[in-house]
Structure 1
Amino acid sequence: MSEQLKWILVADDDADFLELVTVKLEMTLGSGLKIITAANGLEASSRLPYQAFDCIITDLKMPVKEGQALIKTVTQSALNGTTPIVVITGEPDRSLEKKYKQLKQFEKPADLDEVIKHVEQQIKLGPTDQRLTADLLNNFIKGVSEFIKETTQFESTLDVPYVKEENAAFQGDVFRVYDIRSGKSKARFLVGYPKTLLGSLDSKFNASSGDLKRLTGAAGKVIYDRLMKRGTGKGTTLSDSGYFDDPNDPGYEIERNRKGIVIPIKCQGDEKI
């Protein structure tokens, strides 16, 4: 099974330099990379709401949206708020490193070997809050979407993820908590299933539509199977860590008090999972 991909976003308005950095990354770090390029800060920003990255490389002086505005957008992003940022610029602003702890600057003309070495180190260390690696997070989201389509034939669309506040209620009628581990990375997902979606699964899983615990348990196994088929990597485990169908359940209250990221997936009209 393939190893997890490492997702890198590179933003620079100099097309030649953009290509040089991309080639250098691929030559040095190998084939396990997914590099997304952007010609300006606005184009790069459009990737942030729907895609988690392991590292973001940017210039400061760019048209449309400058690097400093992009950096601010990164740090406010639900999926990339703690992603390591590498700035390669002819006009460094040293105050940025004091303001953003995950940021490192290199002045042009930069030693690209030194830059790539730093990028590699940051990828190994992971996001500054030790949340899930980008590829595993992206694959989990895609796995849920594939589960919806394959088991219910409903089309699904991903809404913009956002940060969940403490005590905020979850969307859905029945809830499952999943813990995922892959190497040193770990994360907890709470999936809220609408009953309308679960009602379409009874024939698929040979269970009564009223047996919600069994249906959601089977759904979790399908999501994990899709996760593994996407090449998540060896040693990845998914544990079923809780089931709630009553908002007054003490376990539900514990989960509701946690902070995290909400990733709404629309299916069958306005229903969300």
Structure 2
Amino acid sequence: MKRVILVVEDSPTIRKFVSFSMLSHGYNVIAASDGMEALEKLPYEKIDLIITDLNMPNIDGLELVRTVRRTPEFKDIPIIILSSLSSQNEVQEGLRAGANSYLIKPFDPKRVVYEVSKYLN
């Protein structure tokens, strides 16, 4: 059975690029344009991993990570932050919020696939 990745990104271009990378490596993808849309989809889909941006409207990536970690049925889903925020403080804040990995944009698609494979294979 194919694993399902929830890609949460407000930029349509980056969302399509990350989704294509995941699809081409055999994963199914569900896309959301912000944290609010992601939280609306979580109860209705079997999500195996979340890739999220941080800077998004409505509910940002940090709040998404914190909410997922506080929700018992979703708290163990691996989360990868993919953000242009690159300071050590921002990376630490993302990891403290509960992300498993933090990747900085611009990113190498092979690195994203590698990070995903650490949690799903």
TM-score past 0.5 threshold: yes
SS of equivalent residue, structure 1 residue 49: helix
Selected match of 1:60 from 54, 65, 79: 54
Aligned to 2:30: 36
**Distance change in 2, residues 1:73/1:98 (3 Å):** closer
**Distance change in 2, residues 1:76/1:48 (3 Å):** farther
Selected match of 1:112 from 106, 109, 112: 109
SS of equivalent residue, structure 2 residue 7: strand
Q: Are 1:20 and 2:10 matched, yes or no?
A: no
Q: Distance in 1 between matches of 2:75 and 2:55?
A: 21
Alignment of 1:179-258 (within 5 A): none
Which deviates more from structure 2 when the two are superposed, residues 39-48 or residues 75-84? 75-84
SS of equivalent residue, structure 1 residue 81: coil
Q: Is the 8 A contact 2:62 2:97 kept in 1?
A: no
Give the residue type in structure 2 aligned to 1:83: I
Q: Are 1:47 and 2:44 matched, yes or no?
A: no
Q: Is the 8 A contact 1:90 1:107 kept in 2?
A: yes
Alignment of 1:133-148 (within 5 A): none
* Percentage of identical aligned residues: 28
The Cα of 1:116 is off from its aligned counterpart by 1.0
Alignment of 1:106-185 (within 5 A): 106-124=103-121
Q: Distance in 1 between matches of 2:8 and 2:49?
A: 11
Question: With CA pairs under 8 Å and 6+ residues apart, which has the higher RCO, 1 or 2?
Answer: 2
Q: Distance in 2 between matches of 1:80 and 1:94?
A: 22
Q: Is the 8 A contact 1:52 1:80 kept in 2?
A: no
Deviations 1:55-114, CA, capped at 9 Å, x for gaps: 1000000011111111111112233211110111011422222442x5200111111211
Aligned Cα root-mean-square deviation (Å)? 1.5
Higher CA-based Rg: 1
Deviations 1:171-208, CA, capped at 9 Å, x for gaps: xxxxxxxxxxxxxxxxxxxxxxxxxxxxxxxxxxxxxx
Q: Relative to total residues, which structure has the larger strand share, 1 or 2? A: 1
Selected match of 1:97 from 92, 95, 98: 95
Aligned to 1:74: 68
Q: Is the 8 A contact 1:52 1:79 kept in 2?
A: no
Gaps of 5+ in 2: none
Q: Relative to total residues, which structure has the larger helix share, 1 or 2? A: 2
Q: Distance in 2 between matches of 1:88 and 1:54?
A: 17
Q: Distance in 2 between matches of 1:39 and 1:99?
A: 20
Gaps of 5+ in 1: 125-273
Q: Is the 8 A contact 1:48 1:77 kept in 2?
A: no
Q: Is the 8 A contact 1:8 1:53 kept in 2?
A: yes
Q: Distance in 2 between matches of 1:90 and 1:56?
A: 17
